[in-house]
Structure 1
Amino acid sequence: MKLNLLFVLFIGISLLMTLSCTEDEAPTGAENTIAFTFDADLDGWVPGIAGGGLDAVRWIDWGGQPEGAVEMDGSDFGTSDGQANAWIYQEIELPGDATTLKFQTSTHDRDGANAHLRVRLVDAGGVSHTLIDWEVGEPGVEGQLVWIDKSVSIAAYAGQTVTIFFEQGDNDIGFHEQRYLDNIVIE
């Protein structure tokens, strides 16, 4: 009987200690993670285009990690003007402990395809900050999207309501200028 009583007392104390430790722990990063997977649509991102004949933003169901991604397209027809042809943007309230913006990107699935990608953040004061400046994508591979993982620090803007832009630009030849985005994550 004494052994059973000691066992019950031990279990009770262990349970009480577990509950109180769990309640005192700081929230994990996973609770403050914001993710956009584009599995079914643009996940609330707003599309924009400059107005050229090939400028477009589409949700696609045939590419992505897994299937479902954003396609941004546009052309300056061989003479790059250094401006965005297509973009997506969203206003986001960054968690107070946000440190990193991560995403996956690919160029068009054709040999030699490439295009510029720029990532900008407009802070709570309306000031635009370039996080990634007109980076040329890896050359395309015929029939295959080649996904590259990217990340950039956003710690300086933690706790602010910001607007994030992903912008596609024609960098040279004027065709196969698509950029694809998937799995945008804020941690």
Structure 2
Amino acid sequence: MSLTIPVILGSVRADRNGLRAARFLVAQIETRGHAAPLVDPAELDLPLLDRMYKEYPKGEAPEPLERLAALYRSCDAFIVISAEYNHSIPPALSNTLDYFLEEYYWRPSAICCYSAGQYGGVRAAMQLRAMMAELGAPSIPSLLPIPRVHKALTETGEPTEEWLPKAAHKFLDELTWYAEALRAKRATGTPY
């Protein structure tokens, strides 16, 4: 059964390496027959959060927010791709995520983190895990950290290291399991 899994990119830097990870995961998800729309904060060009989507009168939110709200309400899970900025998540990612709340509810998330160094952004992932749980889209137990991302993936998202497709396969198997399980439960109703 086909799933819709938005891939939320966290960086807006000109030379961002996260786009490599996003392209890689979009391709991996689509190979499984699922939809993987890319949510790119550089393309959305959202201002710093002043009011959440739900705080706008119905039909008056900016177009990018209306589009994202519709996507999020129709999706089955989320993949969040985060760099590590000073042991934390990028501000563009926090800003993009914080516009919504109820739209995330009862859907799992999965975290792919990356860095130019050997730790693969896992310190940011720990903060992101807490944030996603608070937003109502708790993360699956596994992470997909990509150390030395600029060497592990080409600019087009092709893996150059043998371990990466294997790790991504297990990561996406786990996310698929949670997404299918929670979709089945949402179909029978939610606590509120």
* TM-score w.r.t. length of structure 2: 0.31
Structure with bigger helix share is 2
* TM-score w.r.t. length of structure 1: 0.31
Higher relative contact order (CA 8 A, sep 6+): 1
Task: Please identify the structure whose Cα radius of gyration is greater.
Answer: 1
